Amino acid sequence: MNSENLRKVTELRHELHENPELSGHETGTKRRLMDFLEANTRLAVVDCGSWFYASRYVEGTKAIAFRADMDALPMDEGINIPHASRNPCISHKCGHDGHSAALCGFGLELAGLDVKRSVYLIFQHSEENGQGARECSGLLRERSISEIYAFHNWSGWPEGSIVVREGVCQYASAGITLTFGGMASHASEPEKSSNPAYVIARLVSEIEGMKGALCTIVNVNVGGRNFGISPGEGSISLTVRAEREADMRRSYNAIISRAEELAESASMTLGKKGSDYFPETSSDKVCVERVRRAAKSLGLEVVDMAGPIRASEDFGIYTKSIHGAIFYIGNGTNYPAIHTQGYDFNDNILGSAVDMFTGIYTDSVIQ
């Protein structure tokens, strides 16, 4: 990657990190990215409301797309770095600042390429809650895009290595909150109440032994620390995940059905609210081979994943419609994990990310 371009995108990455925004609120982030591309490239930049794309159009060609996410997490920075988050309780602990900066870097590099194929750079909002790709995916059909690529940084693999897998790369998952409504009473007369604590406890014990999916209880809330009240309402929130969306859905529905049975037997109401729905993310064999060739042409180590990552990624929404691949760039074997306070995107892999996008595009033109 051009050294001056690398300097620019590194500075951009730090600026994005200093000004993180949560899913659905990335207005400033979007503006910074659009301003950068408009000031430094001749790409056509199109504002789509919550998200945007940049493109170079070549008549008579099948378009290729590259996607980056741009939302942050509801976490404090937690570490002392020069470009620390200025927004309390919000920080880029998943590296989406690096993903977006890298895609901007690819935009800079396109200026030096003989662009022979239409290319679209999709800057997507709301990845963390699974909403963004659903809104952006209409562009695939609208612009006749035939293949799409993205990368995610990941800790635990050698720094700068390119990690790939054909087929399922990341699990499907969905969140559900179940709210049980009973009847409160004085704590001295619990027999007069319908306390949901016991129903929720039973559901928790049954979920623990459930097979076919990984169920993680993320929150349980019953009553308060008022020792004179037997509560009448309580809720449980959990995430259900499995390698395949169909398996995840079966377990998800089984939990809801069991909750309905328990609520009915205890004469309680049941509220159900789903959230953060992700299908599995799969990579196409031909597209993975394109990623491999790009990595090898750059002299980068290629690592084959032994199995899919349990964490979810809404890139799978794109690959349900067209061919595509997600690849991973190693942060380092002992690098802090994403979604932890010790983490910050590794600037050492930023240039490799840009070079990979450039290499994949070049390969798609040659092949």
User: β-strands 269-278, 52-56: how paired?
Assistant: unpaired
Q: Rounded to an integer, what is the distance from CA 181 to the centroid of its chain?
A: 33
E strands, 231-316, are: 233-242, 269-278, 281-283, 302-304
Output the pLDDT for position 329.
Answer: 98
Work out the widest C-alpha separation in the chain, in whole angstroms: 80
Q: Cα–Cα distance between 196 and 105 in angstroms, integer? A: 53
Neighbour-count burial of 240, counting CB atoms closer than 10 A to its CB (0-12 exposed, 13-18 middle, 19+ buried): buried
List 131's β-bridge partners, or say none.
none
E strands, 70-131, are: 119-124
Q: What is the pTM of this model?
A: 0.95
Give all domains of the chain, ordered by start, each with its CATH number: 3-168+280-366 (3.40.630.10), 172-277 (3.30.70.360)
Spell out the per-residue pLDDT of the chain, length 367, in tens.
899 999 999 999 999 999 999 999 999 999 999 999 999 999 999 999 999 999 999 999 999 999 999 999 999 999 999 999 999 999 999 999 999 999 999 999 999 998 999 999 999 999 999 999 999 999 999 999 999 999 999 999 999 999 999 999 999 999 999 999 999 999 999 999 999 999 999 999 999 888 888 999 999 999 999 999 999 999 999 999 999 999 999 999 999 999 999 999 999 999 999 999 999 999 999 999 999 999 999 999 999 999 999 999 999 999 999 999 999 999 999 999 999 999 999 999 999 999 999 999 999 998 7
Please identify which residue in the block is written with the tokens 């750059």.
Answer: 298
Sorted by sequence, the CB contacts under 8 Å of residue 366 that are 6+ apart come out as: none
Amino acid at the residue 92: H
List 221's β-bridge partners, or say none.
235
CB 320 within 8 A of CB 68: no
Cα-based distances in Å from 218 to 84, 236, 353, 362: 28, 8, 33, 44
Output the pLDDT for position 211.
Answer: 83
Q: Cα–Cα distance between 1 and 108 in angstroms, integer? A: 10
What is the CB neighbour count within 10 angstroms for residue 231? 20
Q: Cα–Cα distance between 92 and 94 in angstroms, integer? A: 6
List 239's β-bridge partners, or say none.
175, 216
Sorted by sequence, the CB contacts under 8 Å of residue 29 that are 6+ apart come out as: 16, 19, 20, 21, 70, 71, 100
CB 95 within 8 A of CB 155: no
